[in-house]
Amino acid sequence: MALAPHRLVWMTLWAEATNEEGADLTRAIASALAPLGRVKVISRGPFPRTPELLLIDVEMSPSSSTAECLRSLGLRPDEDGCWPDWKRRGNGGEFLNPAVRGAQVGEEEAAAPSPFANGEVVVILDGATAREEALVGVEGVVHGSFYDADEPDPLLRRWQHYVMPEGREVLEPFPSAGLRATGRRVVVEEQPLPVHVATDGPGIDGGSAWPAGSAGSADGQR
Protein backbone atom coordinates (compact mmCIF):
# COMPACT_ATOMS: atom_id res chain seq x y z
CA MET A 1 0.00 0.00 0.00
CA ALA A 2 1.36 3.41 -0.97
CA LEU A 3 2.23 5.85 1.80
CA ALA A 4 -0.47 8.39 2.57
CA PRO A 5 0.48 11.99 1.67
CA HIS A 6 -0.48 13.21 5.17
CA ARG A 7 1.46 11.46 7.93
CA LEU A 8 1.74 13.00 11.38
CA VAL A 9 3.09 11.55 14.60
CA TRP A 10 2.63 13.67 17.71
CA MET A 11 3.95 13.27 21.22
CA THR A 12 3.57 14.99 24.56
CA LEU A 13 6.56 14.30 26.79
CA TRP A 14 7.28 14.97 30.45
CA ALA A 15 11.01 15.21 31.16
CA GLU A 16 12.94 15.58 34.39
CA ALA A 17 14.96 18.70 33.57
CA THR A 18 15.20 22.37 34.45
CA ASN A 19 13.90 25.11 32.20
CA GLU A 20 17.52 26.09 31.47
CA GLU A 21 18.23 22.55 30.25
CA GLY A 22 15.28 22.72 27.84
CA ALA A 23 17.28 24.01 24.86
CA ASP A 24 19.79 21.14 24.97
CA LEU A 25 17.04 18.62 25.63
CA THR A 26 14.89 19.71 22.67
CA ARG A 27 17.93 19.47 20.38
CA ALA A 28 18.79 16.02 21.71
CA ILE A 29 15.26 14.69 21.18
CA ALA A 30 15.08 16.22 17.69
CA SER A 31 18.42 14.61 16.82
CA ALA A 32 17.23 11.22 18.11
CA LEU A 33 14.11 11.35 15.92
CA ALA A 34 15.70 12.89 12.80
CA PRO A 35 16.60 9.51 11.20
CA LEU A 36 12.87 8.71 11.10
CA GLY A 37 11.69 11.91 9.35
CA ARG A 38 11.21 15.64 9.77
CA VAL A 39 10.65 16.64 13.36
CA LYS A 40 9.88 19.72 15.45
CA VAL A 41 10.38 19.63 19.22
CA ILE A 42 8.96 22.36 21.46
CA SER A 43 9.74 22.84 25.14
CA ARG A 44 6.93 24.73 26.88
CA GLY A 45 8.61 25.16 30.25
CA PRO A 46 7.74 23.51 33.58
CA PHE A 47 4.54 21.45 33.68
CA PRO A 48 2.17 23.46 35.93
CA ARG A 49 1.00 20.48 38.01
CA THR A 50 4.52 19.02 38.37
CA PRO A 51 7.01 21.91 38.11
CA GLU A 52 10.04 19.61 38.32
CA LEU A 53 9.07 18.19 34.90
CA LEU A 54 9.36 20.01 31.57
CA LEU A 55 6.42 19.83 29.16
CA ILE A 56 7.61 19.00 25.64
CA ASP A 57 5.57 18.69 22.43
CA VAL A 58 6.75 16.81 19.34
CA GLU A 59 5.37 16.93 15.80
CA MET A 60 6.86 14.59 13.24
CA SER A 61 6.35 13.83 9.56
CA PRO A 62 7.82 10.33 9.32
CA SER A 63 9.45 8.91 6.20
CA SER A 64 7.57 5.64 6.80
CA SER A 65 3.99 4.95 7.81
CA THR A 66 3.02 6.38 11.18
CA ALA A 67 2.54 2.93 12.72
CA GLU A 68 5.94 1.77 11.49
CA CYS A 69 7.51 4.90 12.94
CA LEU A 70 6.00 4.36 16.39
CA ARG A 71 6.85 0.65 16.37
CA SER A 72 10.47 1.50 15.54
CA LEU A 73 10.52 3.50 18.79
CA GLY A 74 9.57 0.39 20.74
CA LEU A 75 5.86 1.21 21.10
CA ARG A 76 3.01 -1.20 20.43
CA PRO A 77 -0.73 -0.50 19.96
CA ASP A 78 -3.28 -2.12 22.22
CA GLU A 79 -6.01 -4.49 21.02
CA ASP A 80 -8.15 -1.52 19.94
CA GLY A 81 -5.35 -0.02 17.86
CA CYS A 82 -4.70 2.83 20.32
CA TRP A 83 -1.18 3.76 21.41
CA PRO A 84 -0.95 3.45 25.23
CA ASP A 85 0.87 6.03 27.32
CA TRP A 86 4.49 5.27 28.13
CA LYS A 87 5.66 5.66 31.73
CA ARG A 88 9.13 4.88 32.92
CA ARG A 89 7.80 3.69 36.27
CA GLY A 90 5.52 1.14 34.61
CA ASN A 91 7.29 0.35 31.33
CA GLY A 92 10.92 0.57 32.39
CA GLY A 93 13.81 1.34 30.07
CA GLU A 94 14.16 4.63 28.23
CA PHE A 95 12.13 6.50 25.62
CA LEU A 96 14.00 8.94 23.35
CA ASN A 97 16.12 10.38 26.17
CA PRO A 98 17.09 9.41 29.73
CA ALA A 99 15.32 12.53 31.03
CA VAL A 100 11.90 11.49 29.71
CA ARG A 101 9.62 10.19 32.45
CA GLY A 102 6.35 9.86 30.56
CA ALA A 103 4.86 10.15 27.08
CA GLN A 104 1.55 10.29 25.27
CA VAL A 105 1.67 9.54 21.55
CA GLY A 106 -0.72 9.48 18.62
CA GLU A 107 -0.80 9.58 14.86
CA GLU A 108 -2.75 10.71 11.82
CA GLU A 109 -2.55 9.15 8.37
CA ALA A 110 -4.85 10.27 5.57
CA ALA A 111 -4.92 11.61 2.03
CA ALA A 112 -4.79 15.17 3.38
CA PRO A 113 -4.68 16.91 6.76
CA SER A 114 -7.87 18.00 8.43
CA PRO A 115 -9.27 21.04 6.59
CA PHE A 116 -10.37 22.60 9.89
CA ALA A 117 -8.29 23.23 13.02
CA ASN A 118 -9.43 23.54 16.61
CA GLY A 119 -10.88 26.98 17.24
CA GLU A 120 -11.98 27.68 13.66
CA VAL A 121 -15.37 29.35 13.38
CA VAL A 122 -17.48 27.62 10.73
CA VAL A 123 -20.96 27.84 9.25
CA ILE A 124 -23.03 24.65 9.40
CA LEU A 125 -24.40 23.90 5.94
CA ASP A 126 -27.64 22.20 4.94
CA GLY A 127 -27.67 18.48 5.63
CA ALA A 128 -29.65 15.78 7.40
CA THR A 129 -28.11 16.35 10.84
CA ALA A 130 -28.20 20.13 10.48
CA ARG A 131 -31.90 20.08 9.56
CA GLU A 132 -32.77 17.63 12.32
CA GLU A 133 -31.03 19.81 14.92
CA ALA A 134 -32.22 23.13 13.40
CA LEU A 135 -28.62 24.18 12.79
CA VAL A 136 -28.60 25.10 9.09
CA GLY A 137 -26.74 28.39 8.71
CA VAL A 138 -25.70 28.51 12.38
CA GLU A 139 -22.10 29.33 13.24
CA GLY A 140 -20.07 27.04 15.47
CA VAL A 141 -16.53 26.41 16.70
CA VAL A 142 -14.48 23.32 15.82
CA HIS A 143 -13.40 21.40 18.93
CA GLY A 144 -11.72 18.38 17.34
CA SER A 145 -11.32 16.43 14.12
CA PHE A 146 -11.36 12.68 13.55
CA TYR A 147 -11.74 9.95 10.96
CA ASP A 148 -12.83 6.32 11.03
CA ALA A 149 -9.68 4.58 12.25
CA ASP A 150 -11.23 1.24 11.25
CA GLU A 151 -10.77 2.17 7.57
CA PRO A 152 -7.54 0.32 6.68
CA ASP A 153 -6.73 2.44 3.61
CA PRO A 154 -5.59 5.91 4.74
CA LEU A 155 -6.47 7.32 1.31
CA LEU A 156 -10.15 6.48 1.92
CA ARG A 157 -10.41 8.07 5.35
CA ARG A 158 -12.77 11.03 5.52
CA TRP A 159 -12.46 13.78 8.09
CA GLN A 160 -15.29 14.71 10.43
CA HIS A 161 -15.33 17.48 13.00
CA TYR A 162 -16.82 18.07 16.42
CA VAL A 163 -18.54 21.46 16.36
CA MET A 164 -20.00 23.45 19.25
CA PRO A 165 -22.90 25.37 17.64
CA GLU A 166 -23.53 28.89 18.85
CA GLY A 167 -25.97 28.85 21.76
CA ARG A 168 -25.52 25.13 22.39
CA GLU A 169 -23.46 23.22 24.96
CA VAL A 170 -23.26 19.91 23.10
CA LEU A 171 -20.70 18.96 20.44
CA GLU A 172 -22.17 17.76 17.15
CA PRO A 173 -20.20 15.79 14.50
CA PHE A 174 -20.24 17.03 10.90
CA PRO A 175 -18.33 15.95 7.78
CA SER A 176 -15.97 18.45 6.18
CA ALA A 177 -18.41 18.98 3.31
CA GLY A 178 -21.07 20.04 5.82
CA LEU A 179 -19.07 23.02 7.05
CA ARG A 180 -17.87 26.31 5.56
CA ALA A 181 -14.95 28.30 6.92
CA THR A 182 -15.50 31.90 7.98
CA GLY A 183 -11.83 32.83 8.27
CA ARG A 184 -12.23 33.53 11.98
CA ARG A 185 -10.75 31.67 14.94
CA VAL A 186 -11.15 31.67 18.70
CA VAL A 187 -9.05 30.16 21.48
CA VAL A 188 -10.60 26.92 22.72
CA GLU A 189 -7.67 25.75 24.84
CA GLU A 190 -4.87 27.84 26.29
CA GLN A 191 -1.44 26.35 25.65
CA PRO A 192 1.85 27.43 27.25
CA LEU A 193 4.01 29.46 24.88
CA PRO A 194 7.12 27.83 23.37
CA VAL A 195 10.33 28.36 25.33
CA HIS A 196 12.74 26.38 23.14
CA VAL A 197 12.21 24.96 19.63
CA ALA A 198 14.40 22.52 17.69
CA THR A 199 13.87 21.13 14.19
CA ASP A 200 15.76 18.35 12.42
CA GLY A 201 15.41 15.72 9.73
CA PRO A 202 15.69 15.36 5.95
CA GLY A 203 15.61 18.70 4.13
CA ILE A 204 15.56 20.76 7.33
CA ASP A 205 18.35 23.02 8.52
CA GLY A 206 18.42 24.46 12.01
CA GLY A 207 16.56 27.64 11.14
CA SER A 208 14.14 26.50 8.46
CA ALA A 209 10.40 26.93 8.73
CA TRP A 210 8.15 24.03 9.69
CA PRO A 211 5.00 23.21 7.71
CA ALA A 212 1.77 24.38 9.31
CA GLY A 213 0.08 21.79 11.47
CA SER A 214 -1.16 21.05 14.95
CA ALA A 215 -0.62 18.23 17.32
CA GLY A 216 -3.59 16.09 18.09
CA SER A 217 -4.57 12.89 19.80
CA ALA A 218 -4.65 9.23 19.07
CA ASP A 219 -6.86 7.50 16.50
CA GLY A 220 -6.93 10.38 14.06
CA GLN A 221 -8.63 12.77 16.45
CA ARG A 222 -7.13 16.14 17.34
Rounded Cα distance, 62 and 132, in Å? 41
User: Can you give the residue range of the structural domain that contains 180?
Assistant: 120-185
Let me know whether 195 and 165 are in one domain.
no
Let me know whether 24 and 94 are in one domain.
yes
pTM above 0.85, yes or no: no
Q: Provide the H-helix boundaries in the chain.
A: 22-33, 66-72, 88-91, 128-132
Give the distance, in angstroms, between the CA of residue 46 and the centroid of all CA atoms in the same chain. Answer: 20
Let me know whether 104 and 172 are in one domain.
no
Rounded Cα distance, 27 and 23, in Å? 6
Q: How many domains does the chain have?
A: 2
Per-residue pLDDT of the chain (222 residues; tens, 9 = 90+): 689 999 999 999 999 999 999 999 999 999 999 999 999 999 999 998 899 999 999 999 999 999 999 999 999 998 888 899 999 877 778 999 999 999 999 999 999 999 999 999 999 999 999 999 999 999 999 999 999 878 889 999 999 999 999 999 999 999 999 999 999 999 987 777 778 899 988 876 544 434 434 433 333 344
Q: Identify the CATH number of the domain in which residue 15 sits.
A: 3.30.70
